[in-house]
């Protein structure tokens, strides 16, 4: 970690620090050190979001995702623009987990009747 916050971090704080560290691991490869190019975003997705963004592997999907996230149209993703992706993936994963729980509850209710 490049600039670790001092003290004991909570689990959530560690997760936030990990997101920042991972962003910087990919953002400093090409161009400006604090933004992601389309290629850097693809590399990040291919290695860090491999299971959660299975359908975003092909170049057409990456191009569309990048256009959607690049709100200021500068052909780079700032950390804030990148965080929109993280928020979307987190919410979608949360919803998916609850769908699985609801299905299990429905199955249990059907088995009881």
pLDDT tens for residues 74-94?
A: 999 999 999 999 999 999 989
Q: Is residue 42 part of a domain?
A: yes
Q: What is the CATH number of the domain that holds 53?
A: 1.10.238.10
Q: What's the predicted TM-score (pTM) here?
A: 0.78
Q: How many domains does the chain contain in total?
A: 1
Q: What is the mean pLDDT of residues 90-109?
A: 81
pLDDT of residue 34: 95
The answer to the question of residue 3 being in a domain is no
The reply to whether 2 falls in a domain is: no
What lies within 8 Å, CB to CB, of 18 at 6+ separation is: none
Backbone angles phi, psi at 36, to 5 degrees: -105, 135
**What does the pLDDT read at residue 1?**
45
């Amino acid at each position: 970690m490049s600039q670790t916050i001092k003290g004991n971090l909570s689990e959530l704080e560690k997760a936030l620090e990990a997101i920042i560290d991972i962003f910087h691991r990919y953002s400093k490869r090409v161009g400006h050190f604090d933004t992601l190019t389309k290629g850097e975003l693809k590399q990040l997705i291919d290695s860090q979001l491999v299971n959660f963004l299975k359908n975003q592997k092909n170049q057409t999907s990456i191009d569309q995702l990048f256009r959607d996230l690049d709100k200021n149209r500068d052909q780079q993703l700032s950390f804030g623009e990148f965080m929109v992706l993280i928020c979307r993936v987190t919410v979608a994963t949360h919803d998916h987990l609850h769908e699985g729980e609801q299905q299990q509850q429905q199955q249990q209710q059907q088995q009881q009747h």
